[in-house]
Amino acid sequence: MPTLLSAARAILAALALAAIGRQLMLHVGASYSLLNFFSYFTNLSNLFAVVVLLLGAFRRPLQHSDRQDVARYVSAVNMAVVGIVFVALLRNVDLGALLPWVNVVLHYVMPVAIVVDWVWLQAPASPPKAWHLALALVFPAVYLVYVLLRGAAIGWYPYPFLDPANVGGYGGVALYAAGIFGTFLGAGWALLALASSGILQRPRRHALR
């Protein structure tokens, strides 16, 4: 029988997929670019989180592996930063056609749930390593390069703080990028340290059986 944790992961993944799917329908209905929709870091990070949740929900007990834990860690770092950046930089920004309930699911519920899953509900199969933090920084770096190159080519940026026209040029973009990189580094280190310390390991072994 699936554990309560597996069921919770499956339900959370379904909720996130429903939120992304509903917003995608509105996006397509308004004849907006599909590539633009999938150029939001929030959407990409939530989709990755859904994959990780489903892999965890339907795994067999003996299939818990280091690779799965690396994926869980990277997802937790991404989602932590999604939540932090939204609250710090985008909470009071006009979100256009983004539905309020979709906003809550993708920017609040999912970041909290994914981080809690990592730091409390299931201990890693083995202590995380420093290179996991380096790995977690690869996707955000590639994403930033993609957004800036594509934005320069078509004049559209998914976030106002990445648009040179909104922040006083590329110097302003560089300052925001440095701040967000610091957020990734801090969140990644904190999540790594919590898992490596073993402080939360004992409660997690007994959680949601």
Q: What is the pLDDT of residues 104-150, one digit of tens each?
A: 999 999 999 999 999 888 878 787 888 999 999 999 999 999 999 99
Structural domain count of the chain = 1
The residue range of the domain holding 10 is 4-205
| pTM summary value | 0.90
**Span 52-62, pLDDT tens digits:** 999 998 876 54
**Alpha helix (H) ranges present in the chain?**
4-29, 34-37, 41-57, 66-85, 100-104, 110-116, 130-136, 138-154, 170-197, 201-205
